Structures are given as C-alpha cells and as structure tokens.
Structure 1
Amino acid sequence: MQIYIATDDGGKQGPLFLHQIETMIREGTVQPSQLGWHRDLSDWIPLREIPAVRELLESREREEIKAKLDKESADGTVITRAQVEDAARGRSVLPTNRRPLARFAARLFDSLLVLSVARHFFDMPAPPPDLSRDQFYAWMAQPEILQKFLYLKLILSGLVLILESLFIHFWGATPGKALFRIRLSLSGERPLGLGKSFLRAATVWLAGCGTWDICLGAIALPFGLISLLQTGRTWWDARFAVVVHHSPLRPAHILLILLAFYAILLSFAR
C-alpha cells in the first residue's frame, strides 16, 4: 500500500510505504494526526484512522506496553493476568502498583511534616499541663478553642492543597511520596497538569484521607484499599487516570525513612 501525507505548506509527500511511515512516526517527523490518503479513500483522513496505519500503531503500542511490563516487573511491580491479556489484545494498559502501607505512610509523613512546620508559624492552642481526661475534653469543648482549631484547619488545608498540587505537577511526588520512592504520572510518563493535580488533591482531601476526618476516612480508606488490592489503583487515581510508580525500597532507603520519621517526631517534643 502506498500512502500520501499532507504537508504543512499545503502540498503532499509520497507515495510512501508502511515501513517508511513507521520510521517517520518513530523519528517524530510525522504525527499520527496528520492527514493521509491512498487510492481506496474518497477523502483525506488522519493517518491513525487509516486501517493499515492504525494496526501498525497498535502493534507498536503493544510492544511498548510489553517492554514496560517487563521493566516494571523487574522492579517489583505487581502485574495481573488480566493486564497481560489486555496487552496481548492491544488494549492500552499500564502496570499497576499496590503497596498500601507505603502509600499510607507517605501521606502520614506529609501530614506530620505540615503540622511540624505549622507549629513554628501559627499560634496553635496548647492545653494546660496536668489535665485529667475529663478536664481535657472540657478544655477542647470551649468555643474559642474550637474556633481556633477550625480556623487553623481551614488555613492548613488550603496550603496543603496548593503545595501538594505544585509538588505533583512539577516533580510527580510530595516529600512523603519521594521518601517512599513513589511517583505519580499519566500514561506514557506524562506529568500531571496543574489543574488535574489540584483536582486529585482536592478529591483525596474531601474524601477524608487528607483532612483525617474520622467519619469520612472510615468510609473512603476501606474503599480505596479494596480498589487498590483489586485493580492496582485507588479509586481517586482511577478517576483521574493517574499511574503510580513504586521504585524498590532498599535497606538504605528504609534507614532514611526511619530517620525522617524520628526527626519529625522529635520536632514535636520540642
């Protein structure tokens, strides 16, 4: 089959054989969205819609997926039978990662880090020393104390949403995720846009995983865990088509994690 490709100057390039088009697409000199034509077509259509070219692109995608599956499997990624079958059928799939404890600990570290920093910049209410449990509850129930905590929670929540969005957009990880060698991206290793990063952070926050709201968290966390164990993705990552990458944790990384948590907890004792 000989195919012609429309050029930017209004002309056409060709006739070209499929192997030539494959090489040009691989080198980036031709895009699948460019218009193409061959003698069996009545009009010019995008190259990716020409059956022979579409089959070529799908075959290439299957090879890339298989190579990625092999690479991620070597890094300790869990690959399900369904994913391998999907890759063999040419479906656009990516390897999934689990490690729920690492993800929970990463978010816990981020939360502790925010609270540790906030103690140095905000006037956080502190209970008087030597209070009994009933006295502590009575102190917490005071309207002015509740108002201060609510105000701080709103301020910190806004800052966390903004900072998490920026971290995910520019680096693909928050400090906690980087500590546990977790990275977020879209398919094809593309970074999350700033808007999508913010929407994902807001979704997790509203679900209770970011606010540490007991009632919301008691609902959201089990659903997230079930989704993660069954599909390899939490429901909030699936909603925004986010791919989670886990690099292996070696002894040096585990030691660094322990030291980081120790430093955070030590900061609260001061």
Structure 2
Amino acid sequence: MNMQAAPITHEAPVSCALVGKVAVVTGSTSGIGLGVARALAKAGARLVINGLGEAKEIDKTRRRLAEQFRVDVRYDNSNLMESAGVARLIDGAVNAFGQVDILVNNAGIQHVAPVEEFPGDKWDAILALNLSAAFHATRLVLGAMKENGYGRIINIASAHGLVASPFKAAYVAAKHGLIGFTKTVALEAAEFGVTANAICPGYVWTPLVERQIDEQAAAHGIPRDQVVRDVLLAQQPNKRFATVEEIGALAAFLASANGASITGTALPVDGGWTAH
C-alpha cells in the first residue's frame, strides 16, 4: 500500500458542509468516482482516493484536488479485488486521518456475454469488486461510525440495480445485490446517525463512454449521434447523458447534515430509464 500526501494551497472550499470529515472514495481516479471526489472536496472533506491509472496522472489529479479546494488528498493504490486490499485501504485512511466519516463504494468493472458463454473468472471478478469490496469496506468502517454518531455509506449502484439488461448477468446481479446490501446497512445503522444509500446512474458521460461510442460507431458503420440515441440512450427518455457533476452533487448532499433522514434508498439518476 502506498499513500501519498499533497500540499494544501490556493482556493478555500466553496462550501463548508463537510469540513472536518474524512471521505474514502473507491475507483476515484477518473469518471464518476473522480466527480464524487471533487464534490466532496469542494464541500471541505479530506479525501483518500483509490483507483487505476498512470502514476503521474493520478498524482496530478491528487494535487489538483488538494490545491483547488485546500483539503488534504491522499492516494492509496490498494487492490480491492481481495478483502486484504480493502483492509489496507481502510487502515491507511484511519492511520492518516484518524477516522472515516464518508465511504463511497464506486469501484467496478463490467463484462458483456450471454449467460451460457459468460466466463466464470469474469463473474467472480465482477462480484468481487462491484459487491464484495463494498461489503468489506463497509464492515470495516461501520462500527466506528456508529460509535461516533455520524456516518455516510454511499454506494454507486446503477440503473441495472433496479432493472435488467441482457448479456450483463454478473453486473446486474452485483448491482441488485449492492442495493439489497445498502438497505440492510441502513436498517442496522439507522439509530446511530449513520445513513446508507445507493445512487443508481444510467449512462453518464465519461471518457469510457466516449470510447464506447466510437467503438460502436465503427463496429456498426453508423454515425456517433445514432449510436448515442439508438443504442446507448435507447432506454433513457430524456436522451441525454448524466454528468459526473450531477452524481457528485447528489453524493455531497447525501453526505451532508441535510441528508440525515435519507437512508435505505436507491436513487435513480437515469433520465427516466427506470420509470418505464
């Protein structure tokens, strides 16, 4: 495990809602996780980010967050595919900051194939990262959160935690499981000032999605805008991608004092997809 600190300079936090709080955000070196990390830092939370990528780019991201919002940001490279890696992440955060107040379980992977052709190792890997890692991280922070009388567990699930699609058996199973797990944690922690909620995005505009558009356009010989409307956003009535900023803003609200009575929910951010 390698945890690095960043200097604190430049802008003050735009909001003070989370000043004094410590947040761990998994899968936060890009995409949705980075959007959530930015929103929490903007509200004043100290951060531990975690995820994959080129070391220099991750360090730039870490420094940018720290300098822009004047909060302490550390990077932890623990592998969350195994419970020991999750334990290293949480132990590192506690050793660095003394506590974990906000846990955002965002890390995840995907594989697409018919059930009868779905590789067993892919199933195991998706369940390990998308579901089991969230369980292990939550069980390691929940006791202290209860003792402190404050805690926020925010699980980034998916519209696929509420509805299914073909060829995504492991992902759908993991995200359905994550929502069920969220509800259980919410019930167990409700009297201790700890909330647990799942955010369920539809398609969100990220570099990964942008690459998918180009790949689909090339594979099917159709324009990019047709891929967006007729393939990726076919199930989203508003026909637009959500943004990482929208997901981050919701996470920051749930983490704040104003989110104290919201617990055990699965909140779609899907342009109406699951309203069908």
Q: TM class by shorter-chain length? A: under 0.3
> Which structure is richer in relative contact order (CA contacts within 8 A, separation 6 or more)?
2
What TM-score results when the alignment is normalised by the length of structure 2? Answer: 0.23
Q: Per residue, is there more helix in 1 or in 2? A: 1
**Superposition TM-score, scaled by structure 1 size:** 0.23
Q: Larger Rg: 1 or 2?
A: 1
